[in-house]
Amino acid sequence: MSPGALRESAIRVSDCVTGLLQKQPFFGSLVLRLPLRADPTRKTLASDGHEIRYSPGWVAETDAHLIETAMARVVMACALKHHTRRGERDPERWQTASQLVTHALLRDAGFTLPPEAEAWEDLSVEQAYDRLPEHGDGDPDDDGDAAQGGANGAGAAGQPPPGGDGDESGDPSDPADQGDGGDGNGQGEDDTSGAPPSHDPSGTGEVMDADARSGDGSGSGEASVDTAAEEQAWDEAMHQALSIARAEGKAPGGVEETVRNAHASTLDWRTLLRRYMTDAASRDYSWSVPNRRFIDSGLYLPSIRSEGIDSIAVIIDTSGSLPAQTLAGFWVELREIAAEIRPERVFVLQVDAALRDAAEYSADDLPEEITLKGRGGTDFRPGFEWLDEQGIQPSVCLYFTDMECSSYPEAEPVFPVIWVDHSESSSEVNGQPWGDRITIGD
């Protein structure tokens, strides 16, 4: 491919990133954190969690909305840690499972998938993998009639096949064993030695193993990828991207639910609270400061800037069931986080069945402890009503409660709400109608 054609494909990819930022900011901001690199060894577009590689020829021949879909698909897979969790599983079967799971989220978000792209909802990638037939295995339960997934690797739309022959298209791929691929700059279209085979059953992009980038195909690779750090980085990126999308009113519902549940059971509540508070800092795109990740490619794309928090609101349920010891632990953590992110104002409201107290502090003025007022019943509406009457729209609102109430405001507030749940049970019986939820354990 000529230098001019490579340049045109790079510009086309850049335009697609811009389109994602405008139409799908959650996915666009995830894409924005990865460098883009031309790689003619790819069938379509791929990511190993470190960069996005694209086939210049495919880009030149493919509609923009399909390129955007493939970008969204691969970063969603990385955000869900599909590039770090394959282990010893069959790579082709894993690729198909990853696409089936992420397609459901893309479809929910409004993307138009290729006709052959199937989607399985409410499954993890491991669950989808286990439901797929083994590669090349003629399952006796299918009466000799292999599932006609062809290039899509699935049976009837939305229905996990009970048995059958999995996807047979493409070459077997094992990025973890085959190395990096490509020549590092998108040139040398005929030099494919050492490149991991490219497998993309639905034409919506590949997810490559994170360890694929630790080698160059010659057997002398760099140190292994720190999987824990890699997953933590993507976890943080996913929350930050959702924060941006929420600010623009374009947060996909399915993605919100996925983010809410992702690793929540394995993270300490203090870590979750700190993350949400940090994510509350205003983030937006800055075109005046180019994104340095893309400068070497000659692309002009925006950077993501962060600003301080103007205000936060803390509503404390002072009904009789409030455990003072748990509140004390929450309050200590809140004061430490406020000292780090330094909001200009902190509004502390005490509410049982009515507003009992409202006070305003700076980050440095938060008292070491508070005297509780109330101890009556529970109603979630008075605190939000007071904020509305005062015209206060905090960057984030923390509601410390045991969730034993069904009286919510009729409309969801325009600002993010985090329910800090200190109930004895982690059951979702008393689940909130909106907002995120952190359960404080003992």
* Per-residue pLDDT tens digits of the chain, which is 442 residues long: 788 889 999 999 999 999 999 999 999 999 988 999 999 999 999 999 999 999 999 999 999 999 999 999 999 999 999 999 999 999 999 999 999 999 999 999 999 998 888 999 888 899 999 999 886 554 433 433 333 333 333 333 344 443 333 333 333 333 333 333 333 333 334 445 567 788 898 999 999 999 866 544 333 344 577 888 888 788 878 877 887 888 788 888 888 887 766 545 445 666 767 767 766 655 555 555 555 556 565 555 665 555 567 889 999 998 877 777 788 888 888 888 888 778 889 999 999 999 999 999 998 899 988 888 877 788 999 999 999 999 999 988 999 988 888 899 999 999 888 898 887 654 445 678 888 888 886 5
CATH topology of domain 308-439: Rossmann fold (3.40.50)
pLDDT in tens, 38-92: 999 999 999 999 999 999 999 999 999 999 999 999 999 999 999 999 999 999 9
Closest CA to 395 of 307, 317, 318: 307
pLDDT reported for residue 285: 54
The boundaries of every CATH 3.40.50.410 domain in the chain are 308-439
Answer yes or no: are the C-beta atoms of 114 and 153 closer than 8 Å: no
Dihedral sign of CA atoms 166, 167, 171, 173 in order: negative
Contacts of 323 (CB under 8 A, 6+ apart): 422
Contacts of 46 (CB under 8 A, 6+ apart): 39, 52, 53, 54, 74, 198, 200, 205, 206, 207, 208
pLDDT in tens, 312-327: 999 999 887 777 778 8
pLDDT reported for residue 38: 94
Number of other CB atoms surrounding residue 12 within 10 Å: 16
